[in-house]
Amino acid sequence: MSGAFGPSDSSFGPAGGAGRPLAGRLALVTGGSRGIGRAVVEALTAEGATVLFTFKQAVTEARAVAGQTGATALQLDLADPAAVEHLAAEIQAEFGPVALLVNNGGHALEKLLLDTAIAEWDELMAVHLRAPYQLSRALLPGMIRLGWGRIVNIASIWGMVGAAGEVAYSAAKAGQIGLTKALAQEVGSHGITVNAVAPGAIATAMLSDLQGEDLDRWLERTPVGRLGTAAEVASVVAFLCRPEASFITGQVWSPNGGVVI
């Protein structure tokens, strides 16, 4: 597959180990080279899944994740609809049906609505809404044939309550939550669950600007008194992907330290 590399620049990583909850399941994680996405790749491979993950530009980080986990990295711009469709088709033609889809890839935009350009708005909607729609639509037939599947959309607390200065991002994440709730009702009878994970403030590069007095004020708002970790979010994702989570669908799980209750 063009643009793919695994732990030794091979086209595919090792199969999941027997006896682990997700052994034999093929997973696709978008935005898996760093932050929450990287932690999800690590968690799912530890659970036995065979993982493909996408990245946009972070080649060095993607190679490191592939080398560490045995997952396979695939370069993709989620804002390019043709590229998304092409990659989904290539994956299924080469590797078979994807059983686990984690729509994580994306970025924030801290701007007032009056300062947000149409192009910026459109890009956020393309990455956070259109790409999950495209990938879900492309991969669902394979899940239906399997009679089993998991889709997890990584939303945000701002999709639940909104954030001044992040209107476009909040709208996109609220859209993911709506997508989650509606799609869960369409595909539940096929053994497929669809859930959202809406993190609060997580200690990743996306939150690197939260420092000093701003950080202190945030921690004062947080009942547990600290930022979350990417591994804590990934553990929620991994649970929702396991067989024992089969009665949970259409829900929003929010690891946020109690900021939003």
Catalytic residue numbers?
169
Query: Using alpha carbons only, what angle is made at residue 72 by residues 68 and 75, rounded to the nearest 5 degrees?
Result: 115
End-to-end CA distance of the chain: 44
Distance CA 37, CA 81 (A): 21
- Residues 252 and 227: their CA atoms lie apart, in Å, by 20
- CA 211, CA 205: separation in Å to the nearest integer? 12
Angle of CA points 155, 160, 164, to nearest 5°: 100
| CB-side neighbour CA atoms (13 Å) of 60 | 0
Closest residue by Cα to residue 154 from 189, 194, 116: 194
